[in-house]
Every structure is written in C-alpha cells, then in structure tokens.
C-alpha cells in the first residue's frame, strides 16, 4: 500500500463524510453523545438495527443495504465476536466500506478462538481492500471531522495527535488533558489489537499531517499477524519530524504478561527498546499517566508559544536551572531533586555573587542559586535580582530553565502587595521567554482546598504551572532530550 | 546533661508556664496570632518593649526585670545580630530563663562574623545552664502547650512530632498536612542553626514521649560547634522505638553547598548516610516535600488504625500487590510502576485463575492481576471476585497491599449505581483491613475541577486516597521497609 492510499484511507477515518453503526443499540449512548457534541451531520449518520425503528431520535435502517449511499467512509462494527466474521462478509458485500472501527472485545486478547477470529477478519479486510482499527478499541476522536466517542472531549481542535493501544488511557489523556491543562487535539485513535492498521501507519500519517505538531503514543506490543511491524515502526520512528512522546506499556517483564491479557500483543524486551530510544528522536515517557500529561503539557505550550511568534522552534540546548523562591528548605530540597534528575543548578560565587549582592546587599537568605529571597518579592529589587541572575553567564553556560516557587499566600487581590508581586512574575516571565528560556512556576498543590482563583489566574495569563519541582524538572528534561537528539544532527 | 535534665528543659520549651518576647514589635503579629489561636494564657505572655506601652492589646514591659515572675520558661529572642550577645547577657542576669528560642537570622549561615557570634552565644548559654533552639529558626508548635508561631496550625493535637532544620518546610508540613490529609501533631520544632539544642536531643525526648508515635526529621547538617553530634545522632537513631521519617537536605554534593548558605551546617557525604540508613530503623524520605507528606499520611493512618483497635502494630511482612480497576491500559501502566519500584504483582494463572473465573466467567477484561473488571463494579460479583483475590495465597505469598483505582465518574449520588458501587468499596476496605493488609484507593487528580465531593466523602469514611499508583506504592514501600528493619530483629 502506498502512502497515498494510506492517506486516503485515514482521511476517510478521521474526516468521514458518512458513518454507519452496525448494530446500533441503547448501550452506545456515549458514542451518540460524542457525535452530537461534535455536531456531526445527523443526516450522514446511519444507524442499522433489525429490532428498532428509531434510536436516539434517529431513524434506524434494517440493513446496510437500505442506506442511501454507495460508499460508507466509516463503519462502527459492534457485534458479539461469534457474529463478527459473518457480519463483515455480509456488510462488505452490501456496500463499499472504506474504513471500519471494530469495537468488539474478547478477541485475540482472550483466548485461542479469539486469535483465530482475528486471522479470519484480517483475511476478509484484505480481500475487500478495507482498512480497519481494532478489534477491542474505542475508536476515533477528530474534532475537525466532528467525531468523538464520548461527550466530554473538547470541540475546539488543537495540534496534538494520539495513537493509543488502550482506550481508557486514550480517553483519560484527552479528558484530563483538556480539563487540567487546556490541551487541544487534532486527532486521536484507540487502536486496540491492531489486526489491520498498525501504530506505524498512524505515525506516517501524522508525520505529514499539517494539523499535527506533537504526537503521543501508548504502545503495548505487536499483533502476531504483523511480524514486520517492529521493523516498520522503528523506521517510521526514525523518520519522525515532530516530537513523539512514547509510552511503552510492555516495559517490565511482569507487565509483558499483563499485555497478553489486554491486547493480546507480543511486547518487546527492554534491551531492544533502549536501542530504539537511542536510535530515534522519540522521547520516552515513564509508564505513568501523570508523566504523559506533564510532558505533553510542556511540549504543547513550548511548541505553540514558539509558533505564535513565528520563530523556528529551538529546543533548550543546556540544562542549567535557576531556582527562585522564599524558603531555604525548599531550595535545598529542590537542589537535590534537580541534581538527582541530572540537571545542573549552577552555583553563583565570587564575582557572580558579588554582582548580585550589589543589587541586593542582604545577609538573610541566599543569592547563590537557589535565590532564597525573603521579604522582597513585591519590590523592584526582586525583579532586578531575578533579571541579573537569569541573564548571568554561569561557569556551566547560560541559564536554560527558570523555576520559581510562587508563594502568594492569599488568593487574588487586585491591589497592594499581591499586585506588585504578580507584576514581578509577569515581568520575569516576559524576560525569560524573550531570551528563549523556559519559565515554570511551582505552585504546591492544595487539592480542592486553597488557591483555586490564583491557579486559574496564572493559567489565564499563560504561565506554565507545575505542582512540584520534580514534575517540572522531569518534563523539562524531556524537552531538553528532544532538542539534544534532533538539534545535534545539524 | 542527663536525660532527666534534658526532659525538664524540653518540657519547659513545649509546655511553658510563661513566655516572654524580647523585643516585641508589630512584625511579630503572626506569632501573636498563633498564641491567640492556641488559647495561650494571655496573663502569662509578657511582651518586652522599650518604645511601646501596649501591643496587640497587651501591656508591654520596659524590661524583663519588671515581669512578675522569678523564672521564665520560654523566652523568644528577636533582636538584630549585633545586639544578640549583650541582650542575652543582660536578660540572663535579670531572670532565670529555662529555654530560649533565638529567632535572629543572618548568623553562622551568613558569614564569619555570624559564626563568631554563634560561638559567643553558645558560651553564654552554657554558663547560665539555659537551653536554646536556633538561631535562624521559627520556633515551637505544641497544641497541648498552647504554642504556635502562626495562626494556621491546627488546635487539635495528634501524635506526630517534628524536628526540622527548615522553618518553611516545618510550617508547610503542618499546614498542608492538616489541610490535605487531616494530620494532627503533638510537637514541632524548627531548630535552625543548632547552636545549642541538637536534633538528637529532640529525638531522645520524642522517643520517650507518650504523645508521640511518629517522628519526622528534616536534617541539613551539623553545627561545627558540636563535632560529636554525628556520633550521638547515629546512636539515638539506632535506639528509636517509633518510626522516624528522615529527609536529608544535604544529600547531593550540589545541595551541600546550598546547605552552607541556609543553616551554615556541615553536611555529611552520601556514603555515610547510606550506612546510617542501613544501621538504623529510620525510613529515608527522598528530598521532595510531596514524598514527606505522602509517607507521613500512610504511616499516620496505619498507626492510628492499629491503635484504635488496640492491636499490636504489625507492619506489612511482604510486598505483594493486588490491583483492581476497570482499565487495561492503567492496569499495565500500574504493573510497570509497581514492578519498577520493587513491589510484586503476583500473576494469577492456572488453578488460581480458574477459581476466579468460576466466580466471574467473562472474556472481557482480565482476572490475572491486575483485575480489570469492566461493567460490574456495582454488582455483588465485584465484591466476591475482589474477596477471592484478596484472600488468595499466591505463589509469592499472601497479598499485602490492595490498590483500587476508583473510577466513579459522577460526584456523590445517594441512590442507584453509585450507592451499590460505594458499598462494594466499603466492604472491600473492611475485609482488607480486617486481614491486616493495607487498602489504598487511587483517585486520579482533577485539581480544582471535579470530584471534590467524592474525595471528601472518601476521606470522611476513612479511606486512604492517593492521586496515582506511584505515590501510593512509594509510601507503602516505606511502610514495608520499616517493618522489614524492625520486625526481622524479633
């Protein structure tokens, strides 16, 4: 299959002119709410049901044959596994079907019978030149294509695209990513057991998709029907021209046994993966959902800020961190955390320290980085000392990342101390970003207790905010790693 | 100094019959609010000020001499460093003072002059047989002694005691710990530069204090005036009969340079610390504030639940984890996370799997651990299958920890699906805890967005809730480590 043919199929999958559901039933209400939420044209949504005349206020067709279209762009196939082979044969006989989302679970991941059914399905699809995702998957999210399989996915499109071998992780990434960090997506696909379309197919497609600037992958393993996918995936990853955040579910040996019962895939051993991470520009995400969201949050903001000022994206070239706070203890804890994660916290001494002391000649706190600055956070001096430190050329080179622990105790006030403090934050942000460095605020979490207004204000004003130093530092390290891998080649 | 003398001094520090503040000024308002909040007897609070007749509605004395008491239990000394030596001499000449909180910063941590002042202070204290904390510290929190240095510390006492070389980390642990996890404390002390009283002194005191069941330490290093403290600390830690959660600020070499500017202490190298962790029953807390709170949260609940049922506390003997959820992807991610942290996720196969299949004969999801249980979480079967798995004797031994990802999508409803689901959670909790295993719920965070009611309900009903698998698993591992170190000796 050529790239053109693949593109044609995946265009039909992500931007279908019509969708048929076989068999429609009440239990698919969340799909229906997704379609409604995304304003999919109801005249182009065909429900097939032998037992119902109407469902969700829409007419039901007794058979796909009755549908007034020659070609179906996307068919959602939802039948029990024992009926899947016969249904497919019949449906493909009745209409030309470009793509199919096979929803049915309990296939290759369950037992040997399931594996046999998958083989048969693959054969039928091939004979009919029809492409499919699944089985055992949730399907497609494509705001521009007016598709979603549940109501909580945002309608406004963005530039992140996903290909996930877990429907739940796929859903949660979109749902929580939009709620927590205001992330917006171009396309998402939960691919399940990958009987036909492979992860590499979606990566190829995303790589040349103008609406995609960042790709997220959750990988578990390879379907035994596609022994060449490993090699193909490696080649595709090598050629990716945009950041790919890659989470490998089958990472530990113990998890590999769990993968078998989830998508029935064969996962690859850790050594091979280490080599893959070294040979390709992809960024490894630890198998933690929070890490996936954290990394995505920083890449997304970094890419979009750069795009908005029409700069060529330059990833951080170093990993020197300046820490600004009002707390000796937190400063030391942060220094440990950052150092243990492999970042540098350049120590200001000698001339460099004297330069800062001239701006702020004080005996309490510290100017050695971390800058521990008691009492002055709402003064002019605060900005001046921060500016001097940010622009410093340290022994280890320039500063690449500024982490500021924001300790505004009260919620948003419009006047006085808070206002001057907040202005300082805005000025430090502007300065740092104008120098193409990364600026992150640390706001210790008060889950459901305090600081909600303050957090919202920060987000509205474009600050990047993390709940602790470790999470911010890990995400930055991923950004740096991507730059190191891709920019060194030049 | 004998243990009896030490106890006498520290009793005066934590339960003072009177307190004098020299010199009182408006800027100490947060101290005053702390006293008020904790209902300290205002007739026993003596403010000394030469310039004011009244402050905070209290009479000011011109001199300590005028105070109608022979002995002062606790003096809070707040003067600039250049006045500290003369003030001390004068005050100690005027009255018998049992303990002093030296608030003044800019001492040994700042420069050589500060170090000289500290030497002089130490000498004067010794000559007068007076014990002191500080300089460069926030002081005492003791709800039973009606003492706090800020208004947000809880009034209700508990059984956690702290000794911290950072005032801010000390304050945040108490403030956030009570807000986030409803933690309650017996005693807390921010000790600063440790010119007189040492961390080991407080550990000795806490070790024999009936109100203390759990000790938290934030350590940075040793004051050069006390070269024997290292050895003494090691001995004290060896003899601790209660869990000590120990965070070492001077962990990495880079942080050691930062420690110098914070408390002026000499920190110890990593190898020595590794040996200390091996030779003593203390639990190492990574230098992250979230870890400190997370570990404390689990130890606190574990200890108090055991105390409430008057059982001898038995810490987990193994690290076998059962994971229950409704998500293949999260299950695999959790398996990786747990395995990488050194816990076991016993795999159910063969006879064990068949036993579970008899209860719940289904092809979708998985019963191999993680238990991936789609659709049934509000049914009787859900509890039955959980029960069978929890009671299973796996190849690796019995289950020690049950982690359940709670995916109740909507906020609290009183009827229907949610009620049955919630009843299942309560029953699983009761069962797990009756078997002396640890039960933890994972509720992915929706900061300031969703699920606040649900979270509150869970906490009210005594569930232990973590935002993700990693944080829960790390805390459990600490609990296990403590058991391994202390119970193996028997």
Query: pTM value?
Result: 0.91
Place A255 in a pLDDT band, splitting at 50, 70 and 90: confident
Who's near A275: CB < 8 A, 6+ residues apart?
A: none
Q: Tell me the nearest-neighbour CA distance from B145 into chain A, angstroms.
A: 26
pLDDT at B337 over 50: yes
Most A-contacting residue of B150, B263, B329 (CB-CB within 10 A), to test interface = B329
Please name the CATH architecture into which domain A3-298 falls. 3-Layer(aba) Sandwich (3.40)
pLDDT at A395 over 90: no
Q: What are the pLDDT digits (tens) for B282-303?
A: 999 998 888 999 999 999 999 9
- Give pLDDT, residue B445: 67
B287 CB neighbours in chain A (<8 A) are 332-333, 336-337, 340
Size of interface A-B (CB pairs under 8 A): 222
User: For residues B243 and A1, what is the distance between their CA atoms, to the nearest angstrom?
Assistant: 64
Backbone angles phi, psi at A288, to 5 degrees: -140, 130
pLDDT at B461 over 50: yes
pLDDT at B447 over 70: no
Who's near A88: CB < 8 A, 6+ residues apart?
A: A77, A100, A121, A124, A125
A327 CB neighbours in chain B (<8 A) are 166, 168-169
pLDDT at A140 over 70: yes
Whether B293 and chain A come into contact, CB under 8 Å, resolves to no
- Give pLDDT, residue A372: 92
More confident call, B415 vs A358:
A358
* Highest mean pLDDT, choosing among A72-76, A284-288, B109-113, B349-353: A72-76
Contact between A337 and B168 using a beta-carbon 8 Å cutoff: no
- Give pLDDT, residue B274: 84
State the Cα angle at B155 between B154 and B159, rounded to 5°: 80
Place of tokens 């109100």: B211
Q: Does the fold of domain A314-487 match that of domain A3-298?
A: yes
Q: Where are the domains of chain A?
A: 3-298, 314-487
Please state which of the ranges A296-305, A441-450, B83-92, B121-130 shows the lowest mean pLDDT: A441-450
Contact between A450 and B327 using a beta-carbon 8 Å cutoff: no
- % of chain B beyond a pLDDT of 90: 73
Who's near A100: CB < 8 A, 6+ residues apart?
A: A74, A75, A76, A77, A88, A125, A130, A131, A132, A133, A134
Nearest by CB to B336, from A287, A445, A449: name it.
A287
Q: What are the pLDDT digits (tens) for B311-331?
A: 788 999 999 999 999 888 899
Helices A416-434 + A380-391 axis angle, to 10: 20
Averaged over A283-296, what is the pLDDT? 93
Please name the CATH architecture into which domain A314-487 falls. 3-Layer(aba) Sandwich (3.40)
Q: Tell me the nearest-neighbour CA distance from B22 into chain A, angstroms.
A: 20
Q: Tell me the nearest-neighbour CA distance from B137 into chain A, angstroms.
A: 11
Nearest by CB to B168, from A218, A327, A452: name it.
A327
- % of chain A beyond a pLDDT of 90: 73
A164 CB neighbours in chain B (<8 A) are 329
- Give pLDDT, residue B412: 63
Please state which of the ranges A241-245, A390-394, B308-312, B408-412 shows the lowest mean pLDDT: B408-412
A466 CB neighbours in chain B (<8 A) are none
Q: What are the pLDDT digits (tens) for B132-188?
A: 999 999 999 999 999 999 999 999 999 999 999 999 999 999 998 998 889 999 999
Q: Tell me the nearest-neighbour CA distance from B277 into chain A, angstroms.
A: 18
Most A-contacting residue of B258, B292, B321 (CB-CB within 10 A), to test interface = B258
A347 CB neighbours in chain B (<8 A) are 254, 257-258
Place A450 in a pLDDT band, splitting at 50, 70 and 90: low
Q: What is the ipTM of this complex?
A: 0.86
- Give pLDDT, residue B271: 79
Whether A339 and chain B come into contact, CB under 8 Å, resolves to yes
Most B-contacting residue of A219, A333, A339, A444 (CB-CB within 10 A), to test interface = A333
Whether B22 and chain A come into contact, CB under 8 Å, resolves to no
B262 CB neighbours in chain A (<8 A) are 328-329, 331-332, 366, 372
Sheet holding B371-372, edge to edge: B371-372, B321-325, B401-405, B438-442, B465-466
Averaged over A289-307, what is the pLDDT? 95
Contact between A468 and B290 using a beta-carbon 8 Å cutoff: yes
Whether B168 and chain A come into contact, CB under 8 Å, resolves to yes
Contact between A329 and B179 using a beta-carbon 8 Å cutoff: no
pLDDT at B448 over 60: no
Average pLDDT value for chain A: 92
Contact between A259 and B165 using a beta-carbon 8 Å cutoff: no
Whether B230 and chain A come into contact, CB under 8 Å, resolves to no
Contact between A332 and B255 using a beta-carbon 8 Å cutoff: yes
State the Cα angle at A83 between A79 and A89, rounded to 5°: 100
pLDDT at A375 over 90: no
- Give pLDDT, residue A448: 45
Q: What are the pLDDT digits (tens) for A321-363?
A: 999 998 888 999 999 999 999 999 999 999 999 999 999 887 7
Whether B134 and chain A come into contact, CB under 8 Å, resolves to no
pLDDT at B490 over 50: no
Please state which of the ranges A35-39, A153-157, A184-188, A256-260 shows the lowest mean pLDDT: A256-260
Nearest by CB to B339, from A172, A252, A452: name it.
A252
Contact between B456 and A448 using a beta-carbon 8 Å cutoff: yes
* Highest mean pLDDT, choosing among B101-105, B270-274, B445-449: B101-105
Whether A170 and chain B come into contact, CB under 8 Å, resolves to yes
More confident call, A478 vs B394:
A478
Q: Quick one: closest CA in A to B286, which residue?
A: A337
Nearest by CB to B368, from A176, A220, A261: name it.
A261
- Give pLDDT, residue A409: 56
Contact between A444 and B169 using a beta-carbon 8 Å cutoff: no
CB A325 within 8 A of CB A385: no
Helices B328-340 + A253-262 axis angle, to 10: 170
Instruction: Kindly state the DSSP code that residue A490 receives in the 8-state scheme.
Output: -
- Give pLDDT, residue A254: 83
Contact between B332 and A287 using a beta-carbon 8 Å cutoff: yes
Q: What are the pLDDT digits (tens) for B353-375?
A: 999 999 988 778 889 999 999 88
Q: In A322-415, where does DSSP find H-type helix? A: 328-340, 350-359, 380-391
């Amino acid at each position: 299959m050529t790239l053109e043919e693949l593109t044609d199929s995946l265009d039909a999958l992500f931007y279908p002119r019509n969708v048929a559901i076989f068999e429609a039933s009440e239990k698919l209400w969340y799909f229906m709410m997704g379609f409604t939420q995304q304003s999919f044209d109801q005249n182009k949504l065909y429900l097939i049901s032998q037992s119902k005349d109407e469902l969700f206020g829409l007419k039901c067709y007794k058979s796909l044959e009755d549908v007034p279209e020659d070609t179906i762009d996307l068919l959602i196939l939802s039948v029990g596994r024992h009926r899947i082979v016969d249904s497919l044969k019949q449906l493909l006989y009745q209409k030309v079907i470009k793509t199919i989302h096979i929803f049915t679970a309990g296939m290759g991941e369950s037992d040997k019978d399931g594996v046999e059914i998958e083989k048969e399905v693959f054969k039928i699809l091939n004979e009919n030149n029809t492409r499919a995702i699944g089985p055992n998957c949730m399907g497609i999210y494509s705001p521009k294509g007016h598709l979603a399989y549940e109501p909580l996915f945002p309608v406004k499109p963005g530039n992140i695209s996903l290909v996930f071998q877990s429907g739940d992780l796929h859903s949660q990434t979109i749902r929580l990513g939009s709620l927590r960090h205001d992330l917006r997506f171009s396309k998402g696909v939960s691919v399940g057991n990958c009987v036909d379309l492979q992860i590499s197919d979606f990566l190829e497609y995303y790589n040349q998709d103008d609406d995609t600037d960042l790709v997220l992958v959750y990988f578990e393993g390879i379907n035994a029907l596609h022994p060449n996918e490993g090699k193909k995936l490696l080649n595709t990853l090598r050629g990716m021209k945009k950041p790919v955040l890659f989470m490998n579910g089958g990472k530990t040996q113990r998890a590999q046994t769990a993968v078998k019962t989830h998508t029935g895939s064969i996962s690859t051993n850790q050594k091979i993966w280490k080599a893959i991470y070294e040979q390709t520009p992809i960024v490894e995400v630890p198998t933690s959902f929070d890490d996936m969201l954290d990394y995505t949050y920083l890449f997304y903001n970094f890419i979009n800020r750069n795009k908005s000022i029409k700069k060529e994206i330059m990833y951080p070239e170093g990993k020197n961190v300046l820490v600004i706070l009002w707390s000796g203890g937190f400063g030391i804890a942060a220094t440990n955390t950052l150092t243990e994660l492999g970042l540098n916290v350049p120590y200001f001494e000698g001339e460099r320290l004297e330069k800062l002391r001239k701006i702020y000649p004080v005996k309490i706190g510290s100017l050695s980085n971390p800058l521990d600055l008691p009492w002055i956070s709402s003064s002019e001096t605060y900005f001046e000392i921060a500016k001097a430190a940010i622009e410093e050329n340290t022994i280890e080179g320039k500063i690449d990342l500024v982490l500021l622990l924001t300790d505004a105790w009260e919620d948003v006030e419009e006047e006085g101390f808070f206002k001057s403090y907040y202005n300082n934050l805005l000025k430090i942000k502007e300065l740092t970003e104008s120098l193409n460095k990364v600026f992150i605020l640390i706001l210790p979490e008060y889950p459901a207790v305090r600081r909600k207004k303050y957090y919202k204000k920060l987000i509205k004003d474009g600050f990047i905010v993390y709940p602790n130093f470790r999470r911010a530092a890990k995400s930055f390290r991923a950004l740096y790693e991507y730059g190191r891998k891709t920019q060194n080649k030049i």
